[in-house]
Amino acid sequence: MNKFKAKFSALYVFISGSSSRTQTLKNAQKLLDEAELTIKEVYSVRWLGLTNAVEAVYESYASVLATLSQFTEDKNAVAKGLFKYFN
């Protein structure tokens, strides 16, 4: 469970840590006709925080993978690891 939470936290930090990556995700959501959702932060205190994070990724799964794939092509090691985990 800790690894699961850590991967969702890493995804949140990776996407939200850069306006470029956030915009890339939004563009992928528009292109794939998915709801424009932001990646949610995992809160270790409440289960609801984990649920919201998982639902956000589930609802825009194809966009998340497309975004990670794009940054994997740019030789980003974090994106590569996250892409491998979520794919």
- H/E run at residue 41: none
CB 8 within 8 A of CB 53: yes
Of residues 62 and 37, the one with the higher pLDDT is 62
17-46 pLDDT, tens digit per residue, is 989 999 999 999 999 988 888 888 887 666
Q: What 8-state DSSP symbol labels residue 13?
A: H
Q: Kindly list the domain boundaries of the chain, sorted by start residue.
A: 2-86
What is the pTM (predicted TM-score) of this model? 0.83
Q: Which single residue is written with the structure tokens 């306006």?
A: 19
pLDDT tens column, 3-18: 888 888 899 999 999 8
State residue 44's pLDDT score: 65
Cα–Cα dist 48/27, whole Å: 27
